[in-house]
Chains A and B, each alone.
Chain A
Amino acid sequence: MTRALSRALMALACHCLGEGRREWAQAMQAEFDAVAEDGHPLSFAIGCLWGALRQMPVHEEGRFVLTNYALALVIMIPMAAVQIGWAVFSLPSLFAEHEGLRGTLAPTQALLVGGAYRAAVPSLTILLLLSGAGQLRIAWLLLECDWSRVTSTGMAILAAITTLILFMGSVFLDAGQAVTQAAVLAIELAVLAGLARWHAELDLPPPEPTGA
């Protein structure tokens, strides 16, 4: 158990050191095997992780990785939570009796618009849930620096939100929240484009070949 935990911490430490310090990560890993035989793997692994974390702000690759994590934790994941929350709690009740749109429309209007709205709610809810899941996917892909998938997922979410805005406008629903989400998403995509450019400019050694 201790050994497995130590190995996991070592893997995390090596990851934190990044490509620019790959040789040092291999050196620590090789030393870990010697330390583990001597019976102190956990304290060694904790120390390596602590050292690697302290090194991150020092070099540019570390700052880049920290920025990615900050963006994922501060923007992507909260955005995903907002979209999923909206899909589950808010969207189905937008047309509610008295408190929602229905309260402000004449009975004949409510009858016409209400049917279309009720028919569309399941699809719109699924669309929003998929957008939320897409935000989580972007957060993950961002940490892996998979920029082509980040772009395609971002565009898919933007298309979903645009569809939502158009539909809500056509049935006279308040699309303010959807417009705000689209604006945040546009800013998010611009920031991601900047990060992709920063990643391309980092002077990193080529990735190690995998397999035999």
Chain B
Amino acid sequence: MIRKRRPSKQMISLLGALSDRQWRHGYDLMKETGLLSGTLYPLLMRMTDQGLVEAEWREPAQAGRPARHAYRLTADGYALIQDIALHDGMPAAKAILP
């Protein structure tokens, strides 16, 4: 995978929130990263297009609720955040790696 541009702070923050590779809902990601919906969703769309994030409809925990979209990092997304931490020396990225 060739990374052409240095990821933005928002993107690193989102990668960090997704780094546990669990399925996460958009609202949870907003609360954790502090990103607003107008930043989060375009970012998720772009990262999904780039193959860094995968999205899936997940059945709700409580019956009677509508299904929600959930997101998690792909292997490429995880490789990207490792790459950022190892080569660019970004403290934010280092902090989120195990």
A contact set with B: CB distance below 8 Å: 21, 23-24, 26-28, 30-31, 33-35, 38, 43-51, 54-55
Contact = CB atoms under 8 A, between A and B. Distances in A.
Contacts of A33: 65-66
Contacts of B37: 28, 31, 35, 43-45, 47-48, 51
Interface in B62-82: 65-69
A51 B39 contact: yes
Interface in B25-82: 25-27, 36-42, 44-45, 55, 65-69
B27 A34 contact: yes
B41 A54 contact: no
Contacts of B55: 23, 27
A30 B45 contact: no
Interface residues on B, range: 10 to 19
Contacts of A50: 38
B24 to A, nearest CB: 11
Contact of A55 (B25, B45, B67, B69): B45
28 contacts: A23-B55, A23-B69, A24-B45, A24-B69, A27-B26, A27-B55, A27-B68, A30-B66, A30-B69, A31-B26, A31-B27, A31-B37, A33-B65, A34-B25, A34-B27, A34-B68, A35-B37, A44-B37, A47-B36, A47-B38, A47-B40, A47-B41, A51-B37, A51-B39, A51-B41, A51-B42, A55-B42, A55-B45
Contacts of B65: 33
A31 to B, nearest CB: 4
Contacts of A48: 37-38, 41
A30 B40 CA distance: 15
Given A31-B26, A34-B27, A51 B38 contact: yes
B26 A21 contact: no
Contact of B36 (A21, A28, A34, A43): A43
B69 A21 contact: no
A23 B7 CA distance: 25
A30 B36 contact: no
B11 to A, nearest CB: 15
Nearest to A24: B45
Residue with the highest number of chain A CB atoms closer than 10 Å, among B38, B42, B66, B67:
B38
Contacts of A43: 36-37
List the 8 closest pairs (A to B, CB-CB), nearest first.
A47-B37, A27-B69, A47-B38, A50-B38, A51-B38, A47-B36, A31-B26, A51-B42
A28 B26 contact: yes
A35 B38 contact: no
